[in-house]
Amino acid sequence: MKRVLQILALLSFTTIVNGQTWAPTGAKWTFGVSYAFSPHIDYREWISTGDTVVGGHTCKLIKNMGSDVNMANLDKLITYEDNNIIYWYNINQFTVLYDFNKNAGDTWTIFNDTCSALVTVDSTGIDTINGTPLKALYLSSEDDVFSGKAIEHIGNLGGPAPYFLFHCTGIVVDGSFYTGLRCYEDSIFGFHNFEIAPSCDYVYTGIDEPVTKSSLQLFPNPATDRLNVRTTLLGTITFTIYNVTGDIVLTGKTENLATISTGRLSSGFYTLELKAYSQTQRQSFEVKR
């Protein structure tokens, strides 16, 4: 029986590796963000918004749904997968972002225009997430351009992309910086919380009490024609619904928010934002037709 389970796990792993599972439309990475010389804690969501063709390759467009972090001037990633290698279109050229075929001692080079950084695989392992075994790479790189742990299909747990500013220019910036991947979700693997923050969208200003995702409940999720809302916010509530590209598709204001009509929304992923006084709550939901 044990042997049968091992074979089934291997077959599952082989299916995932051979399939094109990188960044399916709607995939979302939620990274924590902190700020130098400030107690403020924030987050950024990166969402795969669909396909785009670049250089003859059908690529996944992954957008930063918030502001820039650490002056990296990075608002999107254009990537595609081929034979378990993730290629990144960066400054008019494709370069290897991840190579999950590599093993301990192997290397690859990430290019940033005329500058580049060598990435070394120090060791490998297997992480089982939602019942699926995924290869993990433990990476080191020049000037920590892209060091840390990277998990197959999910990517680097430290940040969404390499950070070349110091390596290529020698400039040190004391600003905002990523603190790790809080949550990942997509239509293939479902949702996974890495449990490095109280919630995926945990925010702390240092003045007000932090507001967490657990304070907001949405159901049913996926929704069809109606989304029920349970919130701890009081008073006049302003609600806004964003689509995966960050555009506002619905907004309103009410004293008693219990339900929102989603009948006019097409199938897809959305984010509901609630504001009352100085507090904000956000949570993602899906509409299915």
CATH code where residue 256 lies: 2.60.40.3080
Are residues 275 and 175 part of one domain? no
How many domains does the chain contain in total? 2
Higher pLDDT, residue 119 or 226: 119
Same domain (yes/no): 256, 179: no
Q: What is the DSSP letter of 22?
A: S
Of 72, 37, 66, 283, the closest CA to residue 169 belongs to: 72
Q: Evaluate whether residue 80 is within a structural domain.
A: yes
d(CA 183, CA 43): 11
Asked if omega into 162 is within 30° of 0 (cis), the reply is: no
Same-domain status, 149 and 185? yes
Euclidean distance between CA atoms 282 and 273, whole angstroms: 4
- 3 occurs within a structural domain: no
Tell me whether residue 12 is in a domain: no
Q: Is residue 231 part of a domain?
A: yes
Mean pLDDT of the chain: 86
Predicted pLDDT at 95: 98
Q: Are residues 91 and 188 in the same domain?
A: yes
Secondary structure string (H, E, C) spanning 30-94 = EEEEEECCCCCEEEEEEEEEEEEEECCEEEEEEEECCCCCCCCCCCEEEEEEECCEEEEECCCCE
Map residue 119 onto helix, strand or coil: strand
Instruction: Judge if 189 and 249 occupy the same domain.
Output: no
176 shares a domain with 234? no
In a domain, 282, yes or no: yes
Range of the domain at 221: 213-287
Q: Check residue 215 and give its pLDDT.
A: 67
**Does residue 153 sit in the same domain as residue 218?**
no
* Average pLDDT, integer, range 103-116: 96
- Whether 163 and 227 share a structural domain: no
User: Each residue of 230-283: pLDDT tens digit?
Assistant: 887 777 888 999 887 788 999 988 877 788 999 889 988 888 988 887 678 888
